[in-house]
Amino acid sequence: MSLEPGDAHVLVIVEDDRDLLEGWRELFEFSDYKVHAFTSARAVLADGEALRAADMLISDYHLADQNGIELIREVRRIRPGLPAVLLTGLREQHVRQQATEAGITLFYKPIAVGAIEAHVRAALVRSGT
Amino acid sequence: MTEAIEPRDDTEPADQQGAPTARREPRYIVGIGASAGGLEALRALFAGFRSVRRLSFVVAQHLAPQHRSRLVELIAHETALRVREIEDGMRPEAGVVYVTPPNADLELQDGRLRLRQPRLKIGPKPSIDLFFTSLADALADRAVGVILSGTGSDGAHGIRAIKAADGLTLCQTPEDAKYDGMPRAAVQTGAVDRSLPVEQLASNLLKIDAEDGRRISDLRHDGSMTDEADPYARILSLLDERVGVDLSDYKQSTVRRRMERRVIANGFSSLADYADFFEHTQAEARLLFAEILISVTAFFRDPDAFAALASQIERRIAQARTGSQFRVWVAGCATGEEVYSIAILVQEAVEKAGKHLRVQIFATDLDDQALLIARKGTYTRGSLGQMSPQLVEKYFQQFEDRLQLGPQIRDSVVFARHDLVSDPPFLGLDLVACRNVLIYFNTRLQERVLRIFHYSLQPDGLLFLGRSETAHHPAGGFEQVDRQAKLFVRLREPGGLQAPQIRVRREAQREAELATRDRAESQSADSVFLAMVESVAPDSVLVTEDRLVRQVFGNASDFLRLPAGEPTTAVGRLVPAEVSMELSTLLHRASRSGRAVRGQRRDVTLPRRRRMQLQLQVIPIHIGQRREYLIGFERFSLPKRRLDTAPEAWSGAEAEPDERIALLESELKAVRESLQLTVEEHETANEELQALNEELQSTNEELQSSNEELETTNEELQSTNEELTTLNQEVNVKSAELSVVNQRLAAIQSAISYPLLIVDRELRLQSFNPAARQLFRVAEDDVNLSLRAIPAYLDLRTVAELLEECLIQERDRSLDYTGQGRQFDVRVQLFRDPKGAVAGAVISFVETTDLMAALNDARTKERQVAAITENTPALITMKDTQGVYTYANSRFRAVTGRSAAELLGRTDEELFGEQQGSAMREADFDVLKTRRASQSQEVLVLDGEPRWWLSARFPLLDGHNRAYSVCTVAQDVTERVRHERELTVFRRTLSDATDGIVIFEHGGEDYRAIYRSGRLLGDPPQSDLPRGDPLLLGDVLRQLLREADEVDAARVEHELRAGGVTAVTYRIGSDEPRWVELRGSELTLEEGGTRYLVLVLHDVTPQVRNEKALQDQKEALGRFSRLASLGEIAAGISHEINTPLNAITIKTELMRRMVDAGRAEPERLRRLTDDIDRMVANIDQVIAGLKSISRLAGRDQRELVPLRKLVEDTLRIVGFSTRRHGVDVQVDVGRDDVDVWCNPVQICQILVNLINNALDATHDRTDAWVRIVVSELEQAIVIEVRDNGSGVPAEIAEKIMTPFFTTKDADKGTGLGLSLSRTIARRHGGELEYLRDAEHTTFRLTLPRDPDAAALADERQS
């Protein structure tokens, strides 16, 4: 199956910095993804519709109310096996370890946008949705 | 012995005595016939009776006519029944035993016992036959006949009569009887109902007694009377099967008795039960066997017998050739004591004779267990019995607590299991000892065993039997050499004994083989016989003793003719008439002499007119028991002429032949007549001889009977004799005891050291002891003189008066008596004769002179001791073994404040309370237990004050060395103890507090060390210096300072001597250096007194090290804090800058894609670029803040900074974060011109830290706010950061200022924040604190206004 970028896949993006969040949304929508953007973990978990529709979850590690790994674990309780990408500026060992254990792909800031996008696309192809 | 018998009732016949009711008519009369051996049987029989109701016993025992029998007494001994001698006309009563007197026949007539003159001159009396017959006639089925042991056949006829009359007939089994003649004869009549051992006879008779109203004929067939399967026999056969020993010929009574022990031991009541048990219990066989063979023996048991044996052995050995053998067999050796005794005897005899003999001793027994013990030859001292100590010493070796025989004896004895009855015996013996074995055997077996011994022994060999063997001596073949010792010698001639038949058990096959060989041998013997006959007398006939022809050999028939008349084999009538007479003579001669005889040659005319000369020869032959004769015929042809040796009568006669014939015929006639006469005379003589013979026969029988009587008498005599012996022994023992008692009395009297006089009732002196002789100077002559009449050395009048009083009042008295300046305690003790009357008095004079003196002495000493103990300052007490006070001296009473009455009889627990009391009690116990004195220090709390006592405890011992009391002597050492304790405390403190201390005393020229302690002065710490080796100040200093190069020991010494107090710190050791501080100071106790110099060493290494470490730590902290603050700020900045940078990156990327895709919408691009501009402006703000701050901070330096600017710059740095969190930040700085003297970077750092904390604490609030409020105080400026966040929980409020404490995730902070901030604040001379009680979360930073104060604080901090 060949997929064009976007192809109306649904992405849920969580980032507490509004500027950055808007940037993500615009970038992915431009590539024909459907994007649900949230500034806090609580907001994500409250939006059941978005979660049911999601094909992938992209979250910042540093959220005000929760960290990204915790959020991804909770979301996966509702959507088991949902592909997830974690973004963080911290290069701490324990964060990497937790992410690896949870099966989460980790990207460090500053962000290489192309690499993230390529990964998202490839992950969606792998999951076959 | 006579007391045991019913008193004889001579005047009154039995039937007239007493009331009719007292007489009991017997239902049955039991006639008992006995002869030789009867006594034993009778005793055994009657021993079984306790009480009998319906039977009357009449004993007919053969007795010697002249002998006064003691049979009544002997039987009476055995039984509880009355035993009476029969008097003529007695009417038998039930429950009584009647015994026939000697020399009388007995009959029962009209219910009365009648004594008769014996009818038969010859023959035993009373006649049992006669009595039994009368019994049968009189009583019919109420008669019971019993035959016991005896020779002959008397009673057999009587038994038949009783049986015929329907009575009951019983008889002792021949095997059980000592002499089986009478029982056997009785049994052979076939009229005996039951043949039983004596014991069972008794029980059967008891059954008859108990069977009420039943006829004997019923009883006879009653199963209860018979023991169909006698358990006894069953047990014996089982025993044979299991142990391989056949005891069937052993004396039943003995074996039964032993068996009964096992029956009882196993808890059974009957033999039958036991038999069942026996059958199922394998091990029991061995036990029973051991029980039966039980043998008690000891070394040299029966010393007399052994002495006799020894002399016999000695004699034989003395006669023996050197090198020959001496062979001994001990049959039934049991556990070996006897064998070894004999072996020792033999050894002794051999040594005495000085010969070399080969001694071989065989010891055999049935019991393997016993043999095992015997082989070891190890015995206890007790079993050595009466062996002389020399022999014990010589032949035994002490082996632990036992004695073992030496090898020379043990090696001479060979032990083997051997059954005397069935195994082949040893041969060629010099001595056979078989003691107390035969008693187990019945008569038949005894005889067989004796035959075996006879066969085994060499001629003149010795047989040694046991004392209790009632010989029933080894019939013939032995001669008694010592009656007491039961020693016999085997006679040289075989006597009546034949070689014994040795029964070979379980060798039937071999027996069969032997039988075959025997047959073969007999056949060959026949042929040998024929050959012999052929050679000796070819023509011969064999005739029997009755002269009848049995066999004809060769041509003997030539010489025989069959006479007219009835055919006969009588040889006298078959041979020619010419030799018939001669043959008869020859046969007679041959039978007499037992030798072959030869007759004359005689002319004979045989049938068919053949004439020849014939010579007869008669050879006697013994074939087994038979005697036969071989008659040989030898023929000689008739000579041509008459022999020259013809009788003169013939040759001299010149008469005519006819005349001669006539003459000869007449002569012949005369000769024949004379012969006829002779023959007739011979026949008469023969008849006479026959008559004589018959007479002899009867005489013999009489003798036999007398002999039996004698035998019985002898047994009685023996029994009487034994009693007499016992009595005599008793008398001997008593006499010996009496003599011993006498000796002892004499010894006691002389041993008593004080005078003793014995007087009778009349005050006559009876006896006195040596001491009395000395004191009163009495002599033997004075005996029997009155006490008043004796010219005594001392005046005895008062004593005599006292004595008289005592005798009148019949009681013992004593008196103090002084004489010759000596004092005596005179005691009068009465003694009584066996009837209880006063017989006299013993007067003892116990001298009390010394005693009184000693008593006085003792009293004086006691007073002395009392005075000492009462006046000593020590406490002295005595307590008994129960801990009860028996004595307390005055000091003790004073100290405890109690009177003697309050103390004595009490215990420590009662006096001093549980705890103290039990401790003291324990100490007392120790002393009592060990009986050793002990010393201890004790505390006793008196009136609440502890007092110390040095207590010495020691036991007081009584005469038996038993401790009966504990004496305690205690000294008050309270003061001393206190001083010692203080000193100890002082010393410990001193040695703990310092690392070394030396105290010098200024004596003479120098300071000498008197005390020294502490680890720097060497290990182990020394508190006292050895005498005679004073350490001088200089020595000590040089030693201490030897490693301290930089310190001059001499200078220090000088300073110290000068009285200066000095202190030096020096380093010792180079690898691990230590610093030691040395201080010296001088002191005197009193003005102008001895001066002491105290040198104190102190290890200051830790202090020195700590100081250095502190310094290092401070430097490190300074470095670290600078790095940490830069890092904190950098982290904050990177976040502030990174986030907008990321947004910018994404937006520029979007813009590029829009351009690349050709979808660049101008409005959108415009918006994106505006966003980017805004973000860049943000970044600018941050950088500007940083710049401003770093401009304020001139490299870690303090300066005067405007506070408002500092706060604003800080907010610019964190502004991005606060905005991002949507937190409302308000600042109230107050005056604009407030300056702070500080390092602005560091203060900024504190504020950033506080604001970041506030942001984190409020992140979950939507209305979050942070306030920064500045206020001025006179001396300080206060900056408060407040927020409406969750606050600091009380439990961690204490800890938040400590380094590395954090509540945040590890990625959010280092944990150094607040701690570091406080450090910074303090270095500025200020403070950072958390206001716990404020309404909102509030941190307060205080900074001093005065720059000098701040600077000073900084300096102090560093």
Q: What residues in B contact A16, CB-CB < 8 Å?
A: 1220
pLDDT score for A57: 92
Residue B1358: both structure tokens together:
């560093």
Closest CA to B993 of B1118, B1099, B1104, B1105: B1099
* Closest residue in A to B1172 (Cα–Cα): A19
User: Mutate which of B1135, B1142, B1219 to disrupt the A interface (most A C-beta within 10 Å)?
Assistant: B1142
Task: Spell out which chain B residues touch chain A, with contact meaning CB-CB distance below 8 angstroms.
Answer: 1134-1135, 1138-1143, 1145-1147, 1149-1150, 1153-1154, 1157, 1159, 1171, 1175, 1220-1221, 1259-1260, 1305-1307
Beta strands across the sheet bearing B996-1003: B1006-1013, B996-1003, B1091-1099, B1074-1084, B1062-1068
What pLDDT shows up at residue B1356?
57
**Who among B1157, B1171, B1305 is closest to A19 (CB)?**
B1171
Least confident of B231-240, B597-606, B640-649: B640-649
CB contact under 8 A, A23 and B1220: no
| Yes or no, beta carbons of B1145 and A64 under 8 Å apart | no
Tokens at residue B1232, please? 């604009």
Q: Which two tokens stand for residue B804?
A: 């008289």
Residues in chain A: 129
Which pLDDT value is given to residue B331? 86
Q: Is the pLDDT confidence value at B1126 over 90? A: no
- Mean pLDDT highest for which of B226-235, B977-986, B1181-1190? B977-986
pLDDT in tens, B943-988: 778 888 888 999 988 888 888 889 988 888 888 888 888 888 887 7
The confidence score (pLDDT) of residue A36 equals: 93
ipTM of the complex: 0.85
Residues in chain B with CB shorter than 8 Å from the CB of A23 are 1142-1143, 1146-1147, 1150
Contact list in A for residue B1171 (CB cut-off 8 A) is 19, 22
> What number of other Cβ atoms are within 10 A of residue B197's Cβ?
20
Categorize the per-residue pLDDT at A14 as very low, low, confident or very high, splitting at 50, 70 and 90: very high
Which among B43, B7, B34, B3 has a CA at the least distance from the CA of B716? Answer: B43
pLDDT of residue B113 exceeding 70, the answer is yes
Q: Kindly give the residue spans of alpha helices, DSSP state H, lying in B1087-1161.
A: 1101-1157
Three-class SS of residue B125? Answer: coil
Q: Do B1145 and A113 make contact, defined as CB atoms within 8 angstroms?
A: yes
Q: Which residues of B touch A31 (CB under 8 A)?
A: 1153
CB A103 within 8 A of CB A96: no
| B365 assigned to active site | yes
Task: Residue B1157: list chain A partners with CB under 8 A.
Answer: 30
Q: Residue B7: pLDDT above 60? A: no
User: pLDDT tens, A34-46?
Assistant: 999 998 888 899 9
B1038's tokens? 């040089």
Count of CB contacts below 8 A, A vs B? 63
Q: What is the pLDDT of residue B5?
A: 40
Which of B1137, B1139, B1151, B1167 to mutate: most A Cβ within 10 Å? Answer: B1139
Selected residue with higher pLDDT from B1051 and B1121: B1051
Please give the full DSSP string across B669-708, using - where no structure is assigned.
HHHHHHHHHHHHHHHHHHHHHHHHHHHHHHHHHHHHHHHH
* pLDDT(B655) > 70: no
Contacts of A110 in chain B (CB under 8 A): 1138, 1141-1142, 1145
Of the pLDDT bands very low, low, confident and very high (cuts 50, 70, 90), residue B517 is: low
Q: Cα(B439)–Cα(B255) distance, rounded to whole angstroms?
A: 11
Phi, psi of B142 (to 5 degrees): -95, 5
**pLDDT attached to residue B555:** 83
Per-residue pLDDT tens digits for B876-910: 888 988 888 988 888 888 888 888 888 888 888 88
pLDDT at B860: 92
Q: Which residues of A touch B1137 (CB under 8 A)?
A: none
Q: B219, B207 in Cβ contact below 8 A?
A: yes
- Beta-carbon separation of A113 and B1149 below 8 A: yes
Q: Reply yes or no on whether the pLDDT at B294 is more than 70.
A: no
The shortest C-alpha distance from B1238 to chain A (Å) reads: 33
In which element (H, E) is residue A84 found? strand A84-88
Does residue B1015 carry a catalytic annotation?
no
DSSP of B243-310: H----TTB-HHHHHHHHHHHHHHTT-SSHHHHHHHHHH-HHHHHHHHHHHT-----TTSSHHHHHHHH
Per-residue pLDDT, averaged over B152-164, amounts to 83
Give the CA angle between residues B723, B729, B734 to the nearest 5°: 130
pLDDT-derived band at B16, boundaries 50, 70, 90 = very low
Give the pLDDT confidence of B1152-1168 residue by residue, as tens digits: 888 888 877 888 888 88
- B238 C-beta neighbours (distance < 10 Å), count: 16
A→B interface, C-beta within 8 Å: 16-17, 19-20, 22-24, 26-27, 30-31, 64-65, 67, 89-90, 92, 94-95, 109-111, 113-114
Predicted local confidence at residue B645, as pLDDT: 45
Q: Which has more pLDDT, B701 or B277?
A: B277
Nearest to A30 among B1141, B1150, B1306 (CB): B1150
Closest by Cβ to A23, choosing from B1138, B1143, B1306 = B1143
**pLDDT over 60 (residue B322):** yes
Nearest CA-CA partner of B636 in B669, B608, B611: B611
